[in-house]
A and B are shown apart, each in its own frame.
Chain A
């Protein structure tokens, strides 16, 4: 019996030794693998720009052996902060750099516009079918600041409006609030993604919300704003009011490798990816 336990212990001890050795060797091996020749470009920032940055990085990396692009999210604020402090080579933002950020980090940011994006105002299908297909900027502001709370004021049914917005800190929310000229809202529900807004609006008969253009659907039809329907064409010619540019910021003039990547994104190949991801090309 004793010897059996002893045997067992021996085997167990051996197993631990083997495990430790293999972990150490593995770590050494992996760290030895890093190629010193490649230039790494780090991108951080807005979750809106993230899909563009990721898909472009993937295509770009496949075509380049000497440059490797890595992408992370974290929000527009983080992107701008990271590029200012040198943590990232490119900072993605779905808004322009704020005066407060220039005050904090200095006037070091160089803007590269990589895409256009619109914010569409969607309503429940029942509301659209009841004849509310157009809205003015004033009415939109009224709905979100609480002075309009019934669909009757827009020629719709006598129903309370279920107002959906995005969460604090969202780039889409910043754009919407900024252009519609709101400080705070009296919305009913905050959603942390475009898809959540779409779900809340499509699941209700009395809802309104705002989303990226890609989230317009038959169940969540978009309203014309001041007579203009949100589309690639109306956003490009700036007749649709709620639109924004998506930015990639660099700290001063970009290095050669960074410039090569930015040229790729802003070129025809990158802009095709931009359209594929549901945004509007700058070309």
Chain B
């Protein structure tokens, strides 16, 4: 029917439009970042960021992103997976019904709210607790990002574990394995690709998060000495660098900030695609078997 085809085409155009936007953003980012890569060469990954001297090395911010994300994952991965085991395998139905929506609600809290809580509570609490120069630090950023990545990891790992066929678990229990042995030897190994997808997506969130993190960091473009000293009031992430300096940036500085955006874009895209591939793998495994 003609009408059906018209409507189909309209929907196709709408769908194509969103793909077009992605490509547009992609090309725009590269185009704007290109002068920075061209002028700075490999120095763009160096650690000298000094606008007055025309040095735009974003290395310190890339390092900051890495270490803050790593810190966040040290918190979020064990807590997230344990939470998921509880909610999918151990919790009584009554608790399970309340637990999952509440955890997912945590993911819906706007990041500025996390940042606000961080700056009013955490910053003031951490400074005297660890005798730090100030409460603004990579550690503070890690703590907040860890909490923010938690709901994604819990919720997606929970889905993955629930997707493990009941027959598998029951077979394990039937041959005399305890509940814990079943979780350890059957549930987790079978759902490992789904759990990995959850972790990767959690990392993606941590890497791309801006607002909360830029509020609680020192935002100096320096690598702490020694580099793993997360208590020092220094260090920025790529996102906080962009958020901080785009307002007053001019000339090559803008291009260098776009170079940071390109790096973020690539990292997050890789994370998101590999998470998708892992999830498809788990679905295929159970559909096929």
Residues in A lying within 8 Å of B, measured CB to CB: 9-10, 12-13, 16, 47, 73, 75-78, 81, 160, 162, 167-171, 177, 183-184, 187-192, 199-200, 203-204, 206-207
Contacts and interface: CB of A to CB of B under 8 A. Distances in A.
Interface in B202-239: 214, 218-221, 233-234, 236
A13 B245 CA distance: 48
B156 to A, nearest CB: 34
B168 interface: no
B50 A189 contact: no
A78 B250 contact: yes
7 contacts: A160-B133, A162-B133, A169-B245, A190-B219, A190-B221, A199-B119, A204-B127
A190 B133 CA distance: 14
A206 B127 CA distance: 11
Contacts of A200: 134, 136
B7 A12 contact: yes
Given A75-B248, A76-B250, A81-B250, 11 more contacts: A75-B249, A77-B249, A160-B133, A188-B133, A188-B218, A189-B233, A190-B218, A190-B236, A192-B219, A192-B247, A203-B134
B119 A170 contact: no
B82 interface: no
Given A162-B233, A177-B52, A203-B123, A168 B6 contact: no
Contacts of B6: 13
- In this complex, the member of A9, A167, A192, A206 whose beta carbon has the largest number of chain B beta carbons within 10 angstroms is A167
Given A9-B7, A12-B7, A192 B133 contact: no
A167 B133 contact: no
Contact of B52 (A10, A12, A73, A183): A183
Given A168-B253, A177-B52, A188 B234 contact: yes
B218 A167 contact: no
B258 interface: no
A41 to B, nearest CB: 22
Contacts of B133: 160, 162, 188, 206
Contact of A13 (B7, B221, B233): B7
Contacts, number: 93
B166 interface: no
Contact of A169 (B134, B214, B243, B250): B250
B244 interface: yes
Contact of B248 (A12, A171, A206): A171
B90 interface: no
A267 B253 CA distance: 37
Nearest to B232: A188
- In this complex, the member of A73, A170, A177 whose beta carbon has the largest number of chain B beta carbons within 10 angstroms is A170
Contacts of A207: 134
B233 A47 contact: no
A201 to B, nearest CB: 10
Nearest to B6: A13
A78 B249 CA distance: 8
Contact of A204 (B52, B119, B134, B214): B134
Contacts of A160: 133
Nearest to B10: A16
Contact of B243 (A183, A188, A192): A192
A81 B254 CA distance: 14
B3 interface: yes
A171 B245 CA distance: 12
A168 B7 contact: no
A81 B250 CA distance: 9
Nearest to A184: B50
B233 A188 contact: yes
B251 interface: yes
A168 to B, nearest CB: 4
Contacts of B7: 9, 12-13, 16
A221 B188 CA distance: 58
Interface string B63-98: 000000000000000000000000000000000000
Nearest to B214: A192
A9 B248 contact: no
